[in-house]
Amino acid sequence: MAQFTVTGDVDPFLHISLQRGEKIYCESNAMVMMENALELKGKMTGGLGSALMRRFANGESFFQQHIEAVRGDGDCLLSPTLPGAIQVVDVGATSYMITDGAFLAAESGVNLNVRTQSLGSAVFGQTGGFFICEATGTGKLAVSGFGSSFVLDVEPGKDVVIDNAHVVAWDSRLHHEISVTTQQSGGLLGQLVNSVTSGEGMVLKFSGTGKVVICSRSRENFISWLLKLLPGNGR
């Protein structure tokens, strides 16, 4: 079985050790270094239909990088496109839902499928629109988020509420629903308007038993920070 190790504290690498015949696949342009025993190819994982669904539903690459140890054992280093921590989870008895752009790499036994989610989560949850990727099968899965990451354990009777923009992945057995944190008069519509205009208040509530991977920074805040670095945008 391939060995996945996260190395480095700031903008870490994913270090993967493969034995002869083992394969992994990863997001386009994730490969930073690989030893000569390994071979790299660009493929449409799961065929044309699956590739199209992942591309348009979740923003994943149409072609993914496939790395195989064809000439013996070898190591490779992978890196997410944008800065942030990496978490490695085991897929098998547990399958995971993955938010937009969070997939980094997986063993060949892990399948990325596209499934629909509820209207509320699709419109307000920022977790992948009406379609979202689910990782099934068997093997290791690496996901990434902006900033630092943390794994929460959800237990029965101990529901957790998470800002929707900070969710990276979660156990597919968990029940999740969109909620509003603002408590004010005006009914649900008034609360939704306040949440949208203030930039706060939209959260995901998870219940059941399973893990949720979260990150310290949101995609929107990171993009806003990058835009401020451009000439004529606040600097």
pLDDT one-digit tens code per residue, 9-67: 778 999 999 999 999 999 988 999 999 999 999 876 655 556 555 555 555 565 789 99
Task: Give the per-residue SS3 of 67-96.
Answer: EEECCCCEEEEECCCCCECEEEEEECCCCE
Give me the pLDDT at residue 222, please. 56
> Which range scores top for mean pLDDT: 2-11, 119-128, 134-143, 216-225?
134-143
Joined tokens for residue 89 = 């989870």
Domains and CATH numbers, the chain: 3-228 (3.60.160.10)
pLDDT at 126 over 70: no
Residues forming a β-bridge with 116: 131
pLDDT one-digit tens code per residue, 147-166: 899 999 999 999 999 988 89
**Pick from 81, 95, 87, 27: nearest CA to 55:** 27
Task: Give the pLDDT band (50/70/90) at residue 197.
Answer: very low
Give the H or E element holding residue 194. Answer: helix 187-198
pLDDT at 188 over 50: no
pTM for the full predicted model = 0.79
pLDDT at 130 over 60: no
